[in-house]
């Protein structure tokens, strides 16, 4: 399987090593691109009369139509890698898609959509802001352990042959030599 297949395809299986290495490279590329974009926005914003911007202010000043395509460009390979790791564990990858839809979708929910929380009790309103981040943290940790630390199924499974090769058969035959003459 080529690197292109690993980054843009949803079929087959990949090893943990590939998931980690390609994921780290994608993360570095996304950070570098975002940093370059923030730098450009900061420089463009600077004028003799303007106050300097912090990096977070510059990131917030980037229009949605600029940042969204960048996020989506990195989302596709990230989901593809995660789906293939799930396949290596012999599992359907629908939870991966649901996780990323929730993670990325929550950023684009309008504030008016959360107005239903005003009818809740005051105690629940105080706890509610912590529930969503805690849920995402627990789910993220679960995905990290599942995809990054647990081994795939040995040998072929319903998603294809083992990415470790044919030598990774589940039960290798052991030759003990000729039987002892009795």
What tens digit of pLDDT does each residue of 72-118 get?
A: 889 899 999 999 999 999 999 998 888 888 777 776 666 666 676 77
Whole-number pLDDT of residue 124: 80
Q: Where are the domains of the chain?
A: 3-109+120-164
Count CB-CB contacts under 10 A for residue 69: 10
Does the pLDDT of residue 14 top 70, yes or no?
yes
Q: Of 151 and 120, which is predicted with more confidence? A: 151
Unique residue bearing structure tokens 């929380």: 117
Does the pLDDT of residue 132 top 80, yes or no?
no
Q: How far is CA 161 from CA 9, 29, 87, in A?
A: 16, 30, 11
pLDDT band at 129 (very low <50, low <70, confident <90, very high): confident
Q: Average of pLDDT values for 23-43?
A: 84
Whole-number pLDDT of residue 121: 79
Phi, psi torsion values for 23, nearest 5 degrees? -65, -40
Which pTM was predicted?
0.75
Q: Of 85 and 53, which is predicted with more confidence? A: 85
Whole-number pLDDT of residue 11: 93
Q: How far apart are CA 97 and CA 49, in angstroms?
A: 46
Round the average pLDDT of the chain to a whole number and report it. 82
Q: Of 3 and 131, which is predicted with more confidence? A: 3
Helix ranges, the chain (H): 3-8, 16-45, 55-61, 64-88, 94-105, 122-148
Please write the tens of the pLDDT for every residue from 162-177: 998 876 555 555 666 6
Q: What percent of the chain has pLDDT over 70?
A: 79
Whole-number pLDDT of residue 148: 95
Q: How far apart are CA 101 and CA 75, in angstroms?
A: 10
Whole-number pLDDT of residue 21: 96
Residue 108 and residue 72 in contact, taking contact as beta carbons nearer than 8 Å? no
């Amino acid at each position: 399987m080529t690197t292109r297949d690993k980054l843009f395809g949803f079929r087959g299986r990949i090893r943990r090593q590939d998931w980690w290495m390609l994921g780290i490279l994608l993360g570095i590329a996304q950070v570098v691109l975002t940093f370059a974009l923030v730098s450009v926005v900061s420089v463009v914003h600077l004028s003799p009369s303007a106050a300097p911007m912090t990096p977070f202010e510059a990131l917030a000043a980037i229009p949605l139509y600029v940042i969204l395509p960048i996020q989506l460009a990195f989302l596709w390979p990230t989901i593809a890698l995660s789906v293939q790791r799930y396949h290596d564990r012999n599992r359907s990858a629908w939870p991966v898609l649901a996780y990323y839809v929730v993670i990325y979708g929550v950023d684009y929910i309008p504030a008016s959509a959360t107005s239903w929380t005003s009818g809740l009790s005051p105690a629940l309103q105080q706890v509610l802001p912590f529930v969503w981040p805690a849920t995402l943290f627990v789910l993220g940790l679960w995905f990290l352990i599942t995809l990054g630390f647990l081994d795939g199924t040995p040998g072929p499974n319903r998603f294809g042959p083992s990415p470790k090769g044919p030598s990774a058969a589940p039960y290798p035959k052991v030759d003990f030599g000729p039987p002892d003459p009795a």
